[in-house]
Amino acid sequence: MITALSGDTSRLRATADFVKEQDTATLLPLLLPGLDGPELRSLVERCTFSHAALLVFPPDKAALDAALADCGLVADAPPRPSVVVRERLAVRHKRSVAELDVGILRPAVQCLDGTRRTVEVFALTVPPGSDLDTVAVHERERQHEAHVAFEVYAPDPLVLRGLCAAFGRYGATPDGGGYNPHENSTVFYFTAPAEAKAGYRRVELYAPGDHRDVLVAHLDEHRRRHPAEALLRLLTGAWTTQALAAFAQLEVADAMHEERAVGVAELARDVGAFAPNLATLLRYLTMVGVVSEDRDGFRLTDTGGLLRADAEGSMRPLALMYGGPFYESFAGLGHTVRTGQVAFEQRFGENHFDHFARDPELAELFDRSMAAGSRMFDPLPAHPVLTAASEGATVVDIAGGNGELLGRILSAYPRLQGVLLERPHTVETARRRLGAAGHTARCTFRAGDFADVPAGGDVYILSRVLHDWDDDRCREILRHCARAMSDSADLLVVERVLPTDGSASLATAWDLHMMCNVGGRERCADHYARLFDDAGLTLVGRARLPLDGNVLHVRRTGPANIQSKLDTSVELALEGVVGGPCLGPTETNRHPRAADIR
């Protein structure tokens, strides 16, 4: 062990010397041959050489401190748990994450150019006699984790995507990455081209903050280079759905403490689970980012926190719904594709709205699931149509569900009045919800179907309704709206809109879901425009919402509104804000139907 540790010391010293001697403008062209001129200057403006990294294997903390001191390196903070390296080691050596005690230290180095950089030290503790000796021998020989890193200035999605693309143009290929919740940082790994002259082939872009939205595309590109692994990950997607559903069913998130990690034995006792099997579930959920693990046990990540029943915007009902009835019906997707029939109806013998209505517990879960996608509504009250509405104007929410969206609008604008149209039992749920928010005096509740859309409104809303239906039924619904609307009234239609450029979108996934489970569909913007036109309406604007949602601004067709269409940009004033409730039948094709589960 003494010999092995002295080998680590020499590697530490060599890494520190490398960091002292390099600078950003010199190192980048060594790693990316051909990089020069304006593009090199652009990269130097957006990122800086921050550290070189290596993995060492001390028997204990004292030995690690001694090795650092021998190299003149002093860590100014205790080691933090690794996430990315620990998971990479677990996969590479087929080990449990829990048995790999990997910490991160970053002792500073004074460089020749006057800057201060760091040596990033990953330390895997290998006690004497441990069977981890084989891991240490392999890793010292292969140097998988040795890399150089560049920290990104003021990272945002555009900058990160641009840097990744620039690395790719000069021969670097994606090589994994991850998000470390302990440091709130995201790393993007690359393999430098074979002709790189820096002595390192592995390169890291380090971005402070949570940038997993950009990381997804980077990891997808990495997997595309390993097609068998990519396909295997796709094939096991159902396991993730069921793991999340089991986690929600057992209420594990609610039993976890926000302030400290919780051990498996304590969690198993609290939720009534078999501890070894719960540990297996939690390790899987660690891999997909729902929980994190350290030596003290497991913690919820921000993603996992959304599965707490009491979390704001809790998505626990979605986990139960997607892992329950919809999981069962998706087994019939092939039947739907082959025959055109709805798989849910084949599985349960009736459409899903009627099926839920017959089961009070399922109906309640469905109603709570609808509220789980409420983040889509966050920017909607700022829509110009609503901000410009005059004192006493009336907003009519058609198929308004439990009143989530209408309640947000009435809270934002005390000057407005509301009307909510829904099926009878859902109207009562909405009445209680809006009453608790203090809106009852300004809101009228109507039980009915689409034929009962009231006249006299100033703003009408159809949120997540049209995708439940085929084109003929959509035209009928829209004609009811057009008849009720005056020439000065506005209609806001909230839907996910299919992209026309093949880009990834939740709308594409929901198109499959609607086909399989509801018999509906998602549509592109031009398709919606044709439906509006057939009903005597005109699309005059479109703005993005969270969760890949869109709000389509529609008015009655007429000379004034045709001119409005010519004068109004298709993209409205919610630029930069990037993604509802519902109606469900008691009689097929009569009563308003509920929107999909988000």
pLDDT in tens, 472-487: 999 999 999 999 999 9
Q: Is residue 410 part of a domain?
A: yes
Q: Is residue 434 part of a domain?
A: yes
Same domain, 465 and 556: yes
What are the CA-CA distances from residue 442 to residues 388, 409, 460 (Å)? 18, 12, 16
**Count of domains for the chain:** 3
Same domain, 212 and 284: no
**Distance between CA atoms of residues 548 and 443, nearest Å:** 29
Same domain, 268 and 129: no
Does residue 338 carry a pLDDT above 90?
yes
Does residue 562 carry a pLDDT above 50?
no
Whole-number percent of the chain with pLDDT over 90: 65
Bigger pLDDT: 231 vs 119: 119
Question: What is the pTM for the complete model shown?
Answer: 0.66
- When mean pLDDT is compared over 66-70, 175-179, 524-528, the highest value belongs to 524-528
Average of pLDDT values for 428-453? Answer: 92
Predicted pLDDT of residue 79: 87
Least Cα distance to 473 among 407, 410, 401, 535 occurs for 535
Give the end of a domain, one of 230, 256, 284. Answer: 230
Whole-number percent of the chain with pLDDT over 70: 92
Same domain, 385 and 307: no
Q: What is the CATH number of the domain that holds 258?
A: 1.10.10.10
Predicted pLDDT of residue 567: 39
Dihedral, CA of residue 54, residue 59, residue 63 and residue 68, to nearest 10: 0
Give the end of a domain, one of 279, 311, 343. Answer: 311
Please state, rounded to an integer, the average pLDDT across all residues of the chain: 87
Same domain, 226 and 258: no
Predicted pLDDT of residue 360: 83
Predicted pLDDT of residue 563: 44
Q: Is residue 332 part of a domain?
A: no
Does residue 568 carry a pLDDT above 90?
no
Confidence category of residue 461, pLDDT binned at 50, 70, 90: very high
Confidence category of residue 5, pLDDT binned at 50, 70, 90: low
Does residue 595 carry a pLDDT above 70?
no
394: three-class secondary structure by DSSP = strand
Bigger pLDDT: 440 vs 583: 440
What are the CA-CA distances from residue 38 to residues 28, 35, 42, 44 (Å)? 13, 9, 6, 10
DSSP letters spanning 104-154: EE--EEE-TTS-EEEEEEEEE---TT-TTHHHHHHHHHH-TT-EEEEEESS
Q: Is residue 144 part of a domain?
A: yes
Give the end of a domain, one of 268, 291, 311. Answer: 311
Confidence category of residue 83, pLDDT binned at 50, 70, 90: confident
Average of pLDDT values for 315-342? Answer: 95
Same domain, 285 and 408: no
Least Cα distance to 136 among 293, 1, 9 occurs for 1
Same domain, 390 and 420: yes
Do the Cβ atoms of 511 and 495 come closer than 8 Å? no
Does residue 581 carry a pLDDT above 70?
no
**Distance between CA atoms of residues 587 and 295, nearest Å:** 56
503: three-class secondary structure by DSSP = coil
Does residue 335 carry a pLDDT above 90?
yes
Q: Residues with Cβ < 8 Å from 536, sequence gap 6 or more?
A: 479, 482, 556, 557
Q: What is the CATH number of the domain that holds 491?
A: 3.40.50.150
Q: What is the CATH number of the domain that holds 76?
A: 3.10.180.10
In this structure, the strands spanning 202-208 and 147-152 are parallel
Predicted pLDDT of residue 561: 55
Predicted pLDDT of residue 287: 82
Q: Residues with Cβ < 8 Å from 260, sequence gap 6 or more?
A: 296, 299
| Of 322-336, 345-359, 401-415, the least confident | 345-359
Per-residue exposure over 35-72, b if at least 16 CB sit within 10 Å of its own CB, e if not: beeeebeebeebbbbbbbbbbbbbbeeebbeebbeebe
> Of residues 352, 355, 383, 467, which has the active-site annotation?
467
| Of 24-28, 76-80, 239-243, 545-549, the least confident | 76-80
Predicted pLDDT of residue 289: 84
Same domain, 406 and 302: no
Same domain, 415 and 482: yes
Same domain, 7 and 99: yes
403: three-class secondary structure by DSSP = coil
Asked about 147 being catalytic, the answer comes back as no
pLDDT in tens, 263-292: 999 999 999 999 999 999 999 998 888 998
**Distance between CA atoms of residues 289 and 286, nearest Å:** 5
Does residue 566 carry a pLDDT above 50?
no
Dihedral over Cα of 456, 458, 464, 469: its sign: positive
Burial class (CB in 10 A: 0-12, 13-18, 19+), 510: buried
Average of pLDDT values for 79-106? Answer: 88
Average of pLDDT values for 398-403? Answer: 90
Q: Give me the amino acid identity at 120.
A: E
Dihedral over Cα of 492, 496, 498, 501: its sign: positive
Same domain, 72 and 36: yes
Average of pLDDT values for 126-154? Answer: 92
pLDDT in tens, 348-381: 999 888 898 888 888 888 878 877 777 788 899 9
Q: Is residue 317 part of a domain?
A: no
Does residue 131 carry a pLDDT above 60?
yes
Q: Is residue 45 part of a domain?
A: yes
- Whole-angstrom distance between the N-terminal and C-terminal Cα of the chain? 55
Predicted pLDDT of residue 6: 60
Predicted pLDDT of residue 282: 94
Does residue 434 carry a pLDDT above 60?
yes
Q: Is residue 359 part of a domain?
A: no
Same domain, 306 and 398: no
Task: Find the domain containing 223 and state its range.
Answer: 2-230
Number of other residues whose CB lies within 10 A of the CB of residue 130: 15
Do the Cβ atoms of 490 and 553 come closer than 8 Å? yes
Q: Is residue 327 part of a domain?
A: no
